[in-house]
Structure 1
């Protein structure tokens, strides 16, 4: 079975039954990762954890060192990545608290270091990214969601925006017209970099707010934080089911 790495918030290291073994601090050719990699065991399986935004949570989406994070996880022994992302809901089904396992992604970011294949290369390299998420890993997440009985969507198109600001209502109209179902700020270039490193990668997205213009009034951080607090328990249960499989 693969060695799983989980990328998300620091609270994910608190899975019931997880034994923490060590904290790995490393540098990479691309600089320092967001935080130390936490190594542990769950149900007899080695697990790696990385806090995408640092510990404490202090690195905004557009300044995350995605290359260092993916490189470090690969060097630490990761073979597959389970990425947890907080997102806004565009499609009507994507209400706060809903879980989605996206099957596609559209990248609207700019200026992020997005590839390992640059500089003094021996040969130009292109990776196929037609289907950005690993299908067997997606199915493991879907099976775990079915087992837990949570409200979820087995497909969805993730729109990745630059941040750190939230989107305008007009931008959400555009994203919806483009076929996007959820919107977040951390899905890319993380997914593409994992593909370049031959890491199976799938996303478990937790909807924490309706996207701009989908409800009256403004979106507040207090609402998002409350939705994160309410939904993280479900996320942990799903991840635990995948790790125990």
Structure 2
């Protein structure tokens, strides 16, 4: 289904899903695919057809469904522009993350309070901004025409909306999930995993969790004045002083027998990774459905400073 991008839309809510939903959508949601043309290409989203929420609900599978797009190839700008066209006023971004310490729990949904992304770049090296050009080849809708006027994102309240966080916190409370009040997320673009030195670097800077997504989505949404919250689930520990393996490993001589054992360990590791993402899926699923069915739009708490709008 192709959705026209010229018709004003009622304020909507949306969720971005990642690797935990690589094979199947959240249970209980009837999804209708839609395609929206943007200056950065077409974006495929899914409208929740059976939502009881008076505000339309949309789902983004950032890697596709099934999983086919690695994190460094995700068209983050196209997704952000599509959400703006759909008048999204409450966005929940999710990610399965590596945990950088021994205290932060695994397999538990956690609300992100801050972001570490000092280089502010997309995986291809471009600056992470919607304001990447002065003119667009594609005719813009009235909505995007204004939203894409270049400006500075001024973080008055932070990247994560306090008002939207209150709604998500209430969903966690109903599920009896303890709230972690200060959780800093570090963005590392991938597609490889991090070295021990890199994990130590992020931890030293104050991050408790990291992954290969989420950061760009939150920044670009804020530039388009879309309020954001972020939920993450730790599916492995990525410690600076230990192997990030999900199973125990030992140093052994590299005989043919040992090489065979090492191959078996790698296979076990792949299975363990798949199982950990499956656990993340289970933890996220009901929370996402709850958000889509109950979330309401909130006012954007930051602002875009545009010199063209300053009156002398």
Q: TM-score range by the shorter chain?
A: 0.7 to 0.9
Call closer, same or farther: CA 1:2–1:154 in 2, change over 3 Å.
farther
State the partner residue of 1:138.
165
Say which one has the larger Rg.
2
Q: How far apart are residue 119 of structure 1 and its match?
A: 1.9
State the partner residue of 2:289.
240
Runs of 4+ in 1 over 6 A off after TM superposition: none
Task: Give SS of 2:288's match.
Answer: helix
Q: How far apart are residue 197 of structure 1 and its match?
A: 1.0
Q: What are the residue-to-residue correspondences of 1:85-234 with 2, within 5 Å? A: 85-107=95-117, 110=121, 111-112=125-126, 114-120=128-134, 124-129=150-155, 131-213=158-240, 215-216=242-243, 218-219=245-246, 220-234=269-283
State the partner residue of 1:43.
52
Cα distance between partner residues in 2 of 1:139 and 1:193: 22
Task: Give SS of 1:79's match.
Answer: strand
Q: RMSD over aligned Cα, in angstroms?
A: 2.5
Cα distance between partner residues in 1 of 2:81 and 2:24: 20
Q: How far apart are residue 206 of structure 1 and its match?
A: 0.9
CA contact 2:100–2:240 (8 Å) conserved in 1: no
Q: How far apart are residue 49 of structure 1 and its match?
A: 0.6
Task: Give SS of 1:118's match.
Answer: coil
Cα distance between partner residues in 1 of 2:169 and 2:35: 32
Q: How far apart are residue 175 of structure 1 and its match?
A: 0.8
Q: Deviations over 1:25-52 (max 9, x none)?
A: 122101132x343343422442101110
Call closer, same or farther: CA 1:224–1:138 in 2, change over 3 Å.
farther
Cα distance between partner residues in 2 of 1:216 and 1:159: 19
Cα distance between partner residues in 1 of 2:11 and 2:113: 21
Call closer, same or farther: CA 1:88–1:108 in 2, change over 3 Å.
farther
State the partner residue of 2:26.
14
- Taking structure 2 as the reference length, the TM-score comes to 0.70
Structure 1: runs of 5+ lacking an equivalent: none
Q: How far apart are residue 19 of structure 1 and its match?
A: 3.8
Structure 2: runs of 5+ lacking an equivalent: 1-9, 136-147, 247-268, 295-312
Task: Give SS of 2:102's match.
Answer: coil
